[in-house]
Amino acid sequence: MKLSTLKGFSPLLLAFATLLDNVDIVRADNPLVQTLYTADPAPVVYNDRVYLFTGHDEDGSTTYNMKDWRLYSSSDMANWQDHGVMMSLATFSWANANAWAGQVIERNGKFYYYVPVRRTTGSMAIGVGISDSITGPYRDALGRPLVDNNEIDPTVFIDNDGQAYLYWGNPGLSYVKLNQDMISYSGSINKVTLTTQGFGTRNGNAQRPTMYEEGPWLSKRGSTYYMTYAANCCSEDIRYSTGPSATGPWTYKGLVMATAGRSFTNHPAVIDYKGNSYFFYHSGALPGGSGYQRSVCVERFDYGSDGSIPTISMTTSGPPQLGTLNPYVRQEAETMAFSSGIKTETCSEGGMSVGFIENNDYIKVKGVAFGNGARSFTARVSSATSGGSIELRLGNVNGNLVGTCNVSGTGSWTNWATVTCSVSNASGTQDLFLKFTGGSGYLFNFNWWQFSQ
């Protein structure tokens, strides 16, 4: 559906889109999402794909105004598919605000989403969403909080012996041992003693003598357990500690990411995928970015020979692409490495689609393997106006034009049609830019595309 208002972007995001349209460069790929503000990354590897769950900072926020959780996925760490809203505050009848940092884990074919929310009574608590599919939708597993602790930032981990742990904490750090059902726990809440040996020394704050602040992320590599966390405040940096078990004892190791960018908070996540190690975080890198309008980013890194995590810098390029993208199978329009101007929305044909398209908006798809050459391009589109065109350009948004697909009006935004155009001189592996052109106002919606040889 189209809105009668102007684009849902903030004015600064719109200005950024206009600026990029007029700059003939290869676009940066960090932050991962440009269609809205995202925060608190929580990636999980499942079925040889990375699924990235995020929070969502509402446009124009001047506090932590967050109402739902979003999902993106990738098989190459460069092009990310938008799966939309997986869960929202409305999922929990007992909550009314603060859809903050959560994490998903799979067990026995079910997916569990642990999130902090504000109860209608005013305190914070941890709820659990559950789904039969990693892409949701998630429903309230309990109808009440799992942990009523007035704290935030849960991280969940299943050890090799099958024991699951749920940590959380600001200002403290606590954990429980989850039962096999993943929606109950055994014993009492265990509070970690925050020592300077375990979590470093913070200067000038007698109430917070250690580095630890919030946002814990528990992971394991070999026989070493890693507790990575937001440290100091404010602005936060990222630090880590290690231990011989999932419950410590913890030994402080050092800095992972220094304070940088326009966000005074940060939130870590660490995964291994296809033989590489990745560090996720958030920044204020998008136009209008701040501590309340954040954006998720990712960097590749290598552990030291002693298992140490190096100091990692924020970049605009992000990690190298793994492999290439196949243009000869159907690709969802909402799969992209970078974009300008557009937004995504729920599609009337199912899934998500790209909408709010105006003149000179574009989508970048990285590392497209055309091989010996494409001969035609097909797109699924709809338009309640007079439509527009999809220009197929290589290398950059004003690069070599290899085809133009004209889109006519279809009578409504939900009446879909398939259009095809010829393509020439598209071969090898190149970045593809889908540039949208036309008159004023919204041009068309875009569901999927595919080349043929």
Cβ-count burial 279-293 (b if 16+ within 10 Å, e if not): bbbbbbbbbbbbbbb
Give a yes or no: residue 312 inside a domain: no
The per-residue pLDDT for 54 is: 98
Give a yes or no: residue 210 inside a domain: yes
What percent of the chain shows pLDDT beyond 70? 94
Kind plus residue range of the DSSP H or E element containing 241? strand 237-243
Contact status, residue 369 vs residue 326, Cβ threshold 8 Å: yes
DSSP string, 111-153: EEEEEEEEETTS-EEEEEEEESSTT---EESSSS-SB--S---
The per-residue pLDDT for 36 is: 97
State how far Cα 436 lies from the chain centre: 25
The per-residue pLDDT for 245 is: 98
Catalytic residue at 40? Answer: yes
Catalytic residue at 181? Answer: no
The per-residue pLDDT for 60 is: 96
Work out the pLDDT band at 394, boundaries 50, 70, 90: very high
Work out the pLDDT band at 23, boundaries 50, 70, 90: very low
Looking at per-residue pLDDT, the higher value among 244 and 2 belongs to 244
Pair 295, 337 in one domain: no
Q: Which residues partner with 107 through β-bridges?
A: 110
Give a yes or no: residue 310 inside a domain: no
Pair 62, 205 in one domain: yes
For residue 25, pLDDT over 70 is answered with no
Pair 377, 294 in one domain: no
Pair 293, 363 in one domain: no
Give a yes or no: residue 315 inside a domain: no
CATH number (domain holding residue 254) = 2.115.10.20
The per-residue pLDDT for 160 is: 98
Work out the pLDDT band at 21, boundaries 50, 70, 90: very low
The per-residue pLDDT for 377 is: 99
Residue 51's domain comprises 38-301
Give a yes or no: residue 314 inside a domain: no
For residue 22, pLDDT over 90 is answered with no
Pair 199, 78 in one domain: yes
Work out the pLDDT band at 10, boundaries 50, 70, 90: very low
Give a yes or no: residue 6 inside a domain: no
- Catalytic-labelled residue, pool 29, 40, 358, 431: 40
For residue 166, pLDDT over 50 is answered with yes
Give a yes or no: residue 12 inside a domain: no
For residue 123, pLDDT over 50 is answered with yes
The per-residue pLDDT for 106 is: 98
Cis peptide before 249 (omega within 30 of 0): yes
Pair 343, 284 in one domain: no
Pair 356, 295 in one domain: no
In tens, the pLDDT along 225-284 reads 999 999 999 999 999 999 999 999 999 999 999 999 999 999 999 999 999 999 999 999
Pair 68, 167 in one domain: yes
Pair 124, 237 in one domain: yes
CATH number (domain holding residue 407) = 2.60.120.260
For residue 16, pLDDT over 90 is answered with no
Instruction: Give the number of domains in the chain.
Output: 2
Work out the pLDDT band at 347, boundaries 50, 70, 90: very high
Work out the pLDDT band at 75, boundaries 50, 70, 90: very high
Pair 132, 270 in one domain: yes
Helices then strands, counting H and E runs in the chain, come out as: 2, 32
- Catalytic-labelled residue, pool 76, 151, 214, 431: 214
Q: Which residues partner with 278 through β-bridges?
A: 271, 300
Give a yes or no: residue 277 inside a domain: yes
Pair 382, 338 in one domain: yes
Looking at per-residue pLDDT, the higher value among 28 and 225 belongs to 225
